[in-house]
């Protein structure tokens, strides 16, 4: 199978979020069909949705030997390993893994939309993604990630100084 280049977003705001995110990257990288090529810095971000703690977010670039639906299943399986429980939309979580981009694929199935339908509007995705893939062109908008970032409100996103408590 041909290898695909993918971008994912990672987020956590329950428990030891930084440790969870680092372990999630290691868990994904230990899968034989997944290679983590790079990941962004960690960012503290203001949550969307109900009142809850701030998030730590990042993005990663993966090289995978999986079809999109298979990769999504691996991401959901990884969330479950880290005790992800889905109680309310946009609620707090131990781990959130979103498949943002899969090569330049545009896909709409009952369980997966590519590119991620809200990624172009979310600074907590665009800031870390622009750090590691500024020139990746969003296949729907036709704009590079760094261009999309220029239009985003980044006021709720700040680079985390590792070791800093919040």
Active-site residue set: 84, 93, 96, 98
DSSP 6-68: EEEEEEE-SSSHHHHHHHHHHHHHTSTTEEEEEE---EEEPPSSSS-PPEEEEEEEEEESS-H
- Helix, strand, or coil here: 122? coil
Helix (H) or strand (E) holding 136, with range, is none
Task: Give the β-pairing of 55-64 and 34-39.
Answer: antiparallel
C-alpha to C-alpha distance for 7 and 137, rounded to whole angstroms = 12
């Amino acid at each position: 199978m041909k290898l695909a280049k993918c971008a994912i977003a990672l987020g956590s705001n329950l428990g030891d979020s930084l440790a969870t995110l680092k372990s999630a990257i290691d868990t994904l990288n230990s899968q034989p069909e997944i290679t983590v090529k790079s990941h962004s810095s960690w960012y503290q971000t203001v949550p969307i949705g109900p009142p809850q703690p701030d998030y730590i977010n990042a993005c990663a670039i993966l090289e995978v030997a999986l079809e999109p639906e298979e990769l999504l299943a691996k991401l959901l399986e990884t969330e479950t390993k880290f005790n992800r429980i889905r109680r309310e939309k946009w609620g707090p979580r131990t781990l959130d893994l979103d498949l943002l981009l899969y090569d330049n694929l545009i896909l709409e199935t009952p369980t997966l939309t590519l590119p991620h339908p809200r990624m172009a509007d979310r600074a907590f995705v665009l800031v870390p993604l622009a750090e590691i893939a500024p020139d990746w062109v969003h296949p729907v908008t036709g704009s590079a990630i760094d261009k999309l970032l220029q239009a985003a409100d980044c006021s709720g996103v700040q680079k985390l100084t590792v070791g800093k408590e919040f």
